[in-house]
Structure 1
Amino acid sequence: MSTFPHTRKSKLGYDTEQVDEFLQSARRAYDGDTPDAPALTAADIRHTAFGMEKGGYSTTHVDAALERLEDAFSAREREVARAAKGEAALFDEARTTAQVILNRLDRPIGNRFDRASIFTYGYNRSDVDRFAARLTRYFQDGKPMSVEEVRTVTFRPQRGGYKEIQVDLLLDGVTDVMLAVR
């Protein structure tokens, strides 16, 4: 029996063997009841990638499962940190990270991140700036936004657009803050 639904044989999906191996490893890490249990964090799960194969697992279903897994690891990490540092210290860290994010987002539109070379693609600056405005309203005005929206946002490619790594790191920081204050 399959862990997830498969795509049609002619369509690409995630490599089933890689997904199954990762989930077994994640289970051992979460249970932590064996000496060979791997160290795994919520951030590790967020950055997990799988190869593609025809007839593989449905990317939508696997991605949703990874998000739930990340939430579970994040909740446990918060509890461990809360016990070690205390609630106030955790919120201070989240507040500090949120301020760093806001400082970046406060930069002029079109110049919030470094640009990719004119010969390479980056994220569309207008798309990123539009989402940055939403993030600013979330942090400053308390406008509702879900972790899911941050995790699934996509930006069109653009020659000379914003460098993807910088935007992705900021989005990781936003996700960390949102998970920390749940």
Structure 2
Amino acid sequence: MSTIFPTAEGRLRGYHREQVDTFLASARAAYDVDDSDSPTMTSGDIRRTSFDLARGGYATHAVDAALERLEDAFALRERERALAQQGKGEWLTAARETAQVLLNRLNRDPGHRFSRANILAQGYNVDDVDALADRLKDYFEKGTPISADAVRTAVFRAQRGGYAESQVDLVLDAVTEVMLAVR
């Protein structure tokens, strides 16, 4: 498979070319195989993929955009399979239940929505995360538009004793899965 991405400019580092090419080849193979009973790759796998940075690597913005499109394609296929296996009613019930669990977390008081990192450790800035949480709460409660890309690409400043990064990341992954499932 020949992938052509622009390379990082100047002294900037980009994603390690061989890692990106290898991953995209395996993603293509996984997509081409009818493995509906036990998929070898899911949209979540794509979302959690990371690559080393290297000089002369692929420009991160170009690869990230391609990964977002790939994740969307896998999520659409997963949705179609789930609808075929479960039926629309059961599938919608499961999506609503997941959305309600997420909403319960987002409805917690600002500053208390997630566990905190140790006071000496860096976590995500509480105000930054709470601002996104408020937008997501409005999305689930009022239908206020926010894109899955905005959730996937959210960046938070660092803060000592901030929110635990792993917990925030897991919730944002679940939000993205719900958003992609109900598109």
- Do both share a fold (TM > 0.5)? yes
Q: What value does the CA root-mean-square deviation take over the aligned residues?
A: 1.5
- Residue 25 of structure 1 pairs with residue 12 of structure 2: no
1:20, CA displacement in angstroms?
A: 0.4
Question: Corresponding residue for 1:59?
Answer: 60
Give SS of 1:158's match: strand
- The one-character-per-residue Cα deviations of 1:138-157 (angstroms, maximum 9, x if unpaired) are 11011111111111111100
Q: Is the 8 A contact 1:90 1:180 kept in 2?
A: no
- Residue 141 of structure 1 pairs with residue 142 of structure 2: yes
Aligned residues: 179
1:3/1:103 CA distance change after superposition, 3 Å: same
1:33, CA displacement in angstroms?
A: 6.9
Give SS of 1:122's match: strand
Question: Corresponding residue for 1:178?
Answer: 179
1:163, CA displacement in angstroms?
A: 0.2
Q: How far apart, CA to CA, are the structure 2 residues paired with 1:104 and 1:122? A: 18
Uncovered stretches (5+) of structure 1, i.e. residues with no partner = none
Question: Corresponding residue for 1:102?
Answer: 103
Uncovered stretches (5+) of structure 2, i.e. residues with no partner = none
- The one-character-per-residue Cα deviations of 1:67-124 (angstroms, maximum 9, x if unpaired) are 0000011111111111100111111111101100111111111111110001100000
Q: Is the 8 A contact 2:3 2:21 kept in 1?
A: no
TM-score by length of 1: 0.95
1:130, CA displacement in angstroms?
A: 1.0
1:8/1:2 CA distance change after superposition, 3 Å: farther
Could you list the structure 1 runs, at least 4 aligned residues long, displaced by more than 4 angstroms after superposition: none
**% same residue:** 58
